[in-house]
Structure 1
Amino acid sequence: MVQAFPYDEFTTYLLTRNTSERRYFLRPTKELREAILYCIAEAQAQHPVQIHAFCAMSNHIHVVLTDPDGTAPLFVQAMNQNIARYVNCSLGRFGAMWEGGARPNYCVLPEQGDAFDKIVYTLTNPVKAGLVSEHHLWPGSISSVAQINKGSITTKRPKKFFAKTEDPELLTRELILTPAPGQVTMSQEDYGRYLARRVEETEDAIAADREAKGLRWLGRKECLKINPFDAPTTPWKRFTRNPKVSSKHEEARNAWIARLKRFIVPYEGAKRKFRAGNRDTPFPFGTFAVRLYWGVLIDPQL
């Protein structure tokens, strides 16, 4: 059973979605890299969210985003559906591409520093995994520091899966990249330099640790040889708990956990009444699906 979850306006998340059985369906080919970029840009055009960083590893994807109007699941659904359909089309397969039995994990980042930390974490994912020594060398879909500094990525509509069109707005999409929350006081150049320094420091620390352990990098060329139907050989436990909030400060974590608890009780109560036929029962602020699809009443005081 999926636990109720509040989607509040202007909340920042680290979104994570795993592939089915951890298979390398998102392996870093040029064709798939361009397709994933377009899928993200297309979803953002339909359901505007502020994207701060993203990285598609071979068997999972991370996106750091801020949701301005409490409808992030619409963006995530559009992005995931098109990526899954494109991957299945390109591989000639059917069935679920994403991990079944669980929704994407939304990890709330309550403070400005938490969001920036996860941006650095997302960009250095391929480095931490020992695949490449610098994030921009990863041949998969990733928002490099240079692209974040620029503020956008121009994406091209793939020739596979997507319907043919001559509409110039659909042939290319701009994937808009926004500075982390709280960094708007910085100029784009200053923000880019600060992010570059933080990413470089993390990459250097990972490289030093690997050198001390005598570990080598897999390398860009070997990454391109990954079989999409392979999976890691390490043990895998399904349905393990995923963090709902991440912060260096215990007070911030506890405050959001308390917010979640305050949401669940009135939400579950309202849902029972709604299912029993009371269409006028109010739901708490942060309710998503029944608010969007059923137009239920929202009571901010609940």
Structure 2
Amino acid sequence: MRGSLRLRPDAAINQLLVYALAVSARRYGVEVHALCAMSTHLHLVVTDVHGVLPRFLQFFHRLVALGTKVLRKWEGPVWDHEPTSVVRLLTQAAMVEKIAYVLANPVAAGLVRHAREWPGIKVDAGELGRGVLHATRPSAYLDPENPQWIEQATLPLALPPDIDHEAAEGFRHQVAAELERLEAQAHAEAERQEVGFLGAERASEVSPYERATSFERQRVRNPTFAVGREQGDACRAAAATVRAFRSSYRAALERWRADVRSALFPAGTWWMRVFHGASVSSACAIDVTLAA
């Protein structure tokens, strides 16, 4: 929804987003760690426990799109046609930085001075791993007679899989410190440009039928993994893993195209496994934490 303000925060949109995410996460067993709903796009940090992220995103995005079309009385498309950016978070440093980045989005966009002031759906650093979001079934779109649309949906916020409860408080402090750094950076940039912040009240009053007027840089890179700052060894190892996967995938695909149905695709292959029944190596764990 590039530039479109269809998700401008209000009670109905906030309810739809929480309900859709809670139902989708429960259906596919996805653990949600952090989120922030901007007026033009969404940010999620999740763990794909069962290797079903494409199905989860398809279901969640469809619910949000159809509900938004009803709430906004909108006939056109809700999402743009670019594929969702999905970044695998390989280290704790990457998780801290990406979650803080997600929470700081409204500040970086010049909407509010502090992330906690954003009126849209978001998570505070102190809620990581212990907060719970609640939503009643939206009456404007979902059929109350359909049993899959439960009346009350809850979304517990999970800790990333490598963070145990003993380390949870330290992890929350790390995210809060990184968020504070990003807020200070946004404040300094606003001061340099001599611009102010829109404020929560005005951000909630903007028409959802307008388009954002600020310049939005097109994606010049679409990373597949993140390791955090100053993690050179981890970055090189991750890049080598990606290269090895792509090489193995190309070799398996060439054999498949040559009608060799015993071709073994590398672990992590999804499309060929789901839609063509291809064999896939099971050499790695399914648990993957991602930012989408």
TM bucket by the smaller chain? 0.7 to 0.9
Does the CA contact (< 8 Å) of 1:154 and 1:174 recur in 2? Answer: yes
Q: RMSD between aligned alpha carbons?
A: 2.6
Once the two structures are superposed, what CA deviation does each residue of 1:86-127 show, in whole Å capped at 9, x if it has no partner? 112222223432121x31011122111111111111111111
Whole-angstrom CA distance in 1 between matches of 2:162 and 2:282: 26
Whole-angstrom CA distance in 2 between matches of 1:96 and 1:268: 34
Q: Does 1:264 align with 2:246?
A: yes
Give the aligned partner of residue 109 of structure 1. 89
The residue correspondences of 1:154-233 to structure 2 (distance < 5 A) are: 154-165=134-145, 170-186=150-166, 191-192=171-172, 195-207=175-187, 210-211=190-191, 214-233=194-213
Whole-angstrom CA distance in 2 between matches of 1:290 and 1:94: 34
SS of the aligned residue for 1:55 comes to strand
Give the aligned partner of residue 85 of structure 1. 66
Structure 1 unmatched runs, 5+: 1-18
Whole-angstrom CA distance in 1 between matches of 2:104 and 2:10: 19
Structure 2 unmatched runs, 5+: 284-292
Give the aligned partner of residue 49 of structure 2. 68
Give the aligned partner of residue 120 of structure 2. 140
Deviation at 1:268, TM superposition (A): 2.8
Does the CA contact (< 8 Å) of 1:24 and 1:231 recur in 2? Answer: yes
Give the aligned partner of residue 272 of structure 2. 290
The residue correspondences of 1:88-99 to structure 2 (distance < 5 A) are: 88-99=69-80
Bigger RCO of structures 1 and 2 (CA < 8 A, at least 6 apart): 2
Whole-angstrom CA distance in 1 between matches of 2:52 and 2:148: 27
TM-score (norm 1): 0.82
Question: Number of matched residues?
Answer: 281
Deviation at 1:245, TM superposition (A): 2.2
Whole-angstrom CA distance in 2 between matches of 1:268 and 1:155: 44
Once the two structures are superposed, what CA deviation does each residue of 1:170-216 show, in whole Å capped at 9, x if it has no partner? 11122121123433143655654554454345434543553565432
Mean Cα deviation higher: 106-115 or 233-242: 233-242
Mean Cα deviation higher: 150-159 or 25-34: 150-159
TM-score (norm 2): 0.84
Deviation at 1:250, TM superposition (A): 2.2
Give the aligned partner of residue 37 of structure 2. 56
Whole-angstrom CA distance in 1 between matches of 2:208 and 2:260: 49
